[in-house]
Amino acid sequence: MPLTFHKKPALVMYVTCGDPDLATTREIVLAAIEAGADVVELGVPFSDPVADGPVIQRASERALKHGTTLGQVLTLAAEIREHAQSTGLIVFSYLNPILRMGMEKFCKVARAAGVDGALITDLPVEEAGEYLRAMRAHDLAPVFLAAPTSPEERLKRIAEASRGFVYAVSRTGVTGARPELAEDARKLVKRLRRATKLPVALGFGISTAEQFAEVGEFADAVVVGSAIVETVERNRGREAAAVGEFVRKLSAISRQLSA
């Protein structure tokens, strides 16, 4: 199962596909895997990313300018899978591009590409009936977000619907780096532990090695997104190398879990 975490904390990395272009995204992801990323979230750019801060908004705009599509992201996933058998691959998307492709077709193509799961940012668990059926039928893992504002009964539903791991949102807000880890984060992970035995990955706002280490004390995995995307933005021409260095620095903090 590629969605199993072998390190503590495991590193889940997010990248906006097609920024600056799909060939570079492929190099970035392979370099990150080589450097120790355990799970890769392949971000599908969307015109109206309401849950994202400025960094991912800019990346999405760049990716859409040359017409990056969900179909292309799935093709990219298949290419990455050829080179990386044991890394978890998750499609990270807003709902509309998936609806437009069709839930059933999306799951079928994703499975064939070797994708392990999906996370739809703006699909709450109570609206997910059709999605969950299609995902289950194709043996794909749905991952849901849990928020600091989610009451206990929602956490329970989120945990029950999720496979692989649950994604805990560290604070109220959009994606993007923050100087400090919110107090909400620890509390939410603690509450999730009571609701589920699934591993918990914590994301939103984590960008530094110090924060990565801090989160590693209480969560099973850390999601790093905007910091990766910003590294891509700031290192034109040497994106893959720069992301590789960054991921290596974070990975060095984790310790291997015995199998």
Binding site for other proteins (CB under 8 A): 46-51, 53, 57, 61, 64, 67, 69-71, 95-101, 121-122, 124-125, 144-151, 154, 158, 169, 172-174
Instruction: Give the three-state DSSP class for 181.
Output: coil
Q: 52 catalytic, yes or no?
A: yes
Q: β-strands 221-224, 166-169: how paired?
A: unpaired
Of 30 and 98, nearer to other proteins (C-beta) is: 98
> How would you class 173 by CB atoms within 10 Å of its CB: exposed for 0-12, middle for 13-18, buried for 19 or more?
middle
Of 140 and 188, nearer to other proteins (C-beta) is: 188
Per-residue CA distances from 183 to 99, 115, 128, 250 (Å)? 36, 34, 30, 22
Minimum distance from residue 193 beta carbon to other proteins (Å): 18
Minimum distance from residue 20 beta carbon to other proteins (Å): 18
Minimum distance from residue 101 beta carbon to other proteins (Å): 7
Minimum distance from residue 93 beta carbon to other proteins (Å): 9
Of 131 and 212, nearer to other proteins (C-beta) is: 131
> Closest Cα to residue 7, out of 48, 39, 50?
39
Contacts of range 134-137, beta carbons closer than 8 Å, 24 or more positions apart: 134/103, 134/104, 134/106, 134/107, 135/107, 137/107
Among residues 52, 214, 220, 230, which one is catalytic? 52
Among residues 19, 21, 27, 41, which one is catalytic? 41
Task: Report the amino acid identity of residue 74.
Answer: L
Of 89 and 147, nearer to other proteins (C-beta) is: 147
Q: 160 catalytic, yes or no?
A: no
Instruction: Give the three-state DSSP class for 49.
Output: coil
| CB neighbourhood size of 234 (10 A) | 9
Active site members: 41, 52
